[in-house]
């Protein structure tokens, strides 16, 4: 908080443990609540050996070496007589931008230094290609922190090199580091420095079609990661198809963690050539892909990418164009997760959506693991093209997946030959507010008896057509809704149509099992197909046992095919219930 030196004595130094303060016999730094500071040691006998540092304030946008850029009295003060040097304090603020002269291929043409550097939010320091600078301690500004800009050599395969200085506080207080290139040649690569393990906010700004490669170590970004490629052919890659140009050169498995948001304003986040070397990206906030942006995996025989994942704690906002755009030659602007497992985690209600654009979204392996109950949800309402596999691609662990697309062009197939499970702490909520294309939700969409919906959690149908089993309703297979025995299974029909090819029943292995059945509208059709000898001991619809509920106020339940034995075809003996309307046929 101050810009003056406070001195101790030799008694304040424990020369055995090499520490200052406790448990020395003096009083310097004893019983204080802080440890932050700029410490040094030396002979304090001469008069004022360390001197009083001079504070320089930016007073206009301009070159560091121009005295008119600085004042020693404030951001609006008169010009200084000299410019800041190694022992001085520099505060860049007032929306000023200070820059150093730079050459594209020759480093350190304008080296500058100071003891303490602060950059106020809205202001910037652009050091260009001058890694020889030294900034002592880069501290947080009380009004918030601005932008520290750095470039590297124009030459292909160059590595960004940072100046000397302790950027810890600047990063932890969400100062922004912007790394930019000056070479617009497509296919050139530029590498983030190995050994740098954290940034505050990080902006990557390649020129043209050049690519930026993340470091060969775990990386933590305290704030936001923003990419500003000029088209989708500017790639941002966790790793490249070969070793790193600086030590350690051998590629390692790593995780890039973004505590804030991932904003792909331009360019493409690409997994490329990592083979089976695992490369994970975890974003605690939102992932937003702009019109010329993309997320993709580029894998071929020569440079495969087989071990990668993306985890999102917020929303996925895909505003991409869905086309090769803006002069690009290879990369389509889209979110293509064909070989990229995606996991949604965290609390609250989040989205897979778009606010503009004509996006293409392709999922291959999607896991919903939000919170620890059905209360947290992920809503899919994205427009244009959404593509998913037909089987074994969606896993519900925690939270509710809400499918709410307006008038989609294709069916939404959740499972086929493989049984699909909704666990106790998860839910599936179907809501097609407009379905003039007559598209369907398909679960257990296969003509085999093993394909069922295992309902331990909650299935809600508000609008739309939901099929459990093939859509024709004539296939002789018992595609059932099988509910569990602990009373957590819930079926809530508010509207739309639910078609079950087999039964809604308990397990055939036990007479326990309970379901909470609510219907306030919509139509439920139970075809009763393919019941084998064991299934015949269960009703086509049965609500029974402790913890069960049957509540119906509107809508219809139609049982198409008979042949029940032990409990007939309709067996309602709930622990609690209410019927005020509706019709059972």
Is residue 31 packed enough to be buried (19+ CB in 10 Å), middle (13-18) or exposed (0-12)? exposed
Q: Residue 585 and residue 526: Cα distance in Å, rounded?
A: 10
Predicted pLDDT at 22 = 63
**Region of poorest pLDDT, from 18-27, 260-269, 407-416, 571-580:** 18-27
Both tokens of 425, joined, read 């702490």
Nearest to 385 by CA among 365, 409, 411: 409
Does 28 score more than 90 pLDDT? no
Distance of CA 306 to the CA centre of its chain: 20
What the block records as the tokens of 341 is 């497992």
Percent helix / strand / coil, the chain, rounded to 5: 0, 40, 55
492-519 pLDDT, tens digit each? 999 999 999 999 999 998 889 999 999 9
Quick one: pLDDT at residue 35?
Answer: 66
Higher per-residue confidence, 35 vs 160: 160
pLDDT at 8: 80
Report residue 11's pLDDT band, with 50, 70 and 90 as the boundaries.
confident
Ramachandran assignment for 69, one of left (phi > 0), alpha (psi -120 to 50 degrees), beta (any other): alpha
pLDDT band at residue 417 using 50, 70 and 90 as cut-offs? very high
pLDDT score of 61 more than 80: yes
Q: How far apart (Å, rounded) are the C-alpha atoms in residues 12 and 64?
A: 40
**pLDDT band with cut points at 50, 70 and 90 for residue 324:** confident
- Enumerate residues 6+ apart whose C-beta is below 8 A from 379: 349, 350, 351, 352, 353, 402, 404
H-run or E-run covering 124:
strand 124-126
**DSSP result, 321-364:** -SSB-TT-SS-BSSEEETT--EEEESSSEEEEE-SSS--EEEES
Q: What is the DSSP string of 489-524?
A: EEEEE-SSEEEESS-EE--TT-S---EEEEEEEEEE
How many helices (H) and strands (E) would you count in the chain? 1, 51
Q: How far apart are CA 202 and CA 236, in angstroms?
A: 13
What pLDDT digit, counting tens, does each position of 290-317 carry? 998 999 999 888 899 999 999 999 999 9
Tokens matching residue 481 = 């809704």
Phi, psi of 124 (to 5 degrees): -150, 150
Q: What pLDDT does residue 24 have? A: 63
Q: What tokens does 510 get?
A: 């036990």
**pLDDT over threshold 70, residue 325:** no
Local confidence band at 578 (pLDDT 50, 70, 90 cut-offs) = very high
Supply the mean pLDDT for the chain.
Answer: 93
Q: Is the peptide bond before 227 cis (omega within 30 degrees of 0)?
A: no
pTM of the model: 0.92
* CA distance to 246, 350, 390, 421, 504, per residue, from 413 (Å): 47, 22, 5, 14, 20
pLDDT in tens, 464-489: 999 999 998 888 999 999 999 888 99
Q: How confident is the model at residue 1 (pLDDT cuts 50, 70, 90)?
A: low
* Residue 20: per-residue pLDDT: 77
């Amino acid at each position: 908080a101050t810009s003056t030196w406070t001195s101790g004595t030799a008694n304040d130094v424990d020369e055995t443990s090499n520490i200052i303060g406790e448990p020395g016999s003096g009083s310097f730094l004893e019983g204080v609540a802080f440890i932050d500071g700029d410490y040094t040691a030396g002979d304090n006998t001469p008069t004022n050996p360390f001197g009083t540092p001079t504070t320089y304030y930016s007073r206009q946008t301009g070159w560091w070496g121009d005295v008119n850029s600085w004042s020693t009295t404030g951001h609006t003060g008169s010009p200084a007589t000299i410019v800041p040097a190694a022992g001085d304090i520099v505060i860049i603020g007032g929306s000023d931008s200070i820059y150093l002269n730079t050459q594209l291929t020759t480093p350190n043409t304008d080296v500058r230094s100071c003891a303490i550097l602060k950059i106020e939010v809205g202001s910037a320091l652009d050091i260009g290609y001058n890694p020889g600078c030294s900034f002592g301690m880069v501290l947080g500004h009380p009004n918030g922190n601005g932008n520290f800009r750095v470039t590297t050599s124009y030459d292909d395969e160059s590595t960004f090199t940072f100046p000397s200085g302790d950027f810890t506080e600047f990063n932890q207080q969400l100062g922004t580091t912007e790394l930019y290139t000056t070479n617009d040649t497509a296919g050139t690569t530029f590498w983030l420095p190995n050994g740098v393990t954290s940034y505050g906010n990080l902006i990557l700004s390649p020129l043209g079609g050049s690519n930026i490669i993340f470091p060969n170590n775990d990386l933590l970004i305290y704030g936001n990661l923003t990419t500003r490629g000029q088209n989708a052919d500017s790639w941002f890659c966790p790793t490249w198809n070969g070793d790193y140009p600086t030590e350690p050169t051998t590629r390692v498995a790593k995780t890039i963690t973004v505590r804030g948001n991932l904003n792909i304003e331009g360019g493409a986040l690409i997994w490329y050539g990592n083979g089976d070397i695992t490369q994970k990206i975890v974003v605690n906030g939102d992932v937003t892909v702009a019109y010329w942006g993309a997320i993709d995996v580029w894998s071929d025989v020569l440079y495969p990418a087989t071990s990668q994942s993306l985890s999102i704690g917020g929303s996925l906002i895909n505003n991409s164009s869905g086309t090769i755009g803006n002069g690009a030659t290879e990369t389509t602007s889209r979110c293509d997760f064909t070989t990229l497992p995606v996991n949604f985690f965290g609390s609250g209600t989040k989205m897979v959506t778009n606010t503009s654009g004509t996006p293409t979204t392709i999922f291959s392996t999607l896991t919903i693991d939000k919170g620890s109950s059905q209360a947290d949800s992920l809503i899919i309402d994205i427009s244009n093209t959404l593509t998913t596999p037909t089987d074994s691609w969606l896993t519900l662990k925690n939270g509710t997946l809400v499918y709410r697309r307006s008038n989609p062009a294709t069916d939404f197939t959740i499972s086929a030959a493989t049984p699909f499970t909704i666990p106790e702490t998860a839910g599936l909520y179907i809501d097609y507010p407009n379905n003039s294309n007559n598209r369907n939700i398909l679960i257990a969409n296969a003509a085999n008896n093993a394909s069922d919906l295992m309902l331990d959690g909650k299935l809600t149908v508000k609008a739309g057509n939901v099929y459990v089993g093939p859509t024709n309703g004539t296939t002789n297979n018992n595609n059932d809704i099988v509910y569990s025995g602990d009373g957590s299974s819930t079926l809530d029909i508010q509207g739309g149509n639910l078609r079950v090819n087999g039964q809604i029943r308990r397990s055939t292995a036990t007479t326990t099992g309970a379901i909470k059945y609510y219907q306030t509208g919509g139509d439920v059709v139970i075809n009763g197909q393919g019941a084998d000898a064991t299934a015949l001991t269960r009703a086509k619809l049965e609500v029974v046992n402790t913890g069960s509920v049957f509540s119906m106020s509107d809508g219809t339940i139609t049982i198409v095919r008979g042949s029940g034995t032990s409990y007939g075809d309709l067996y309602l003996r709930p622990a609690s219930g209410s019927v005020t309307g509706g019709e059972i046929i």
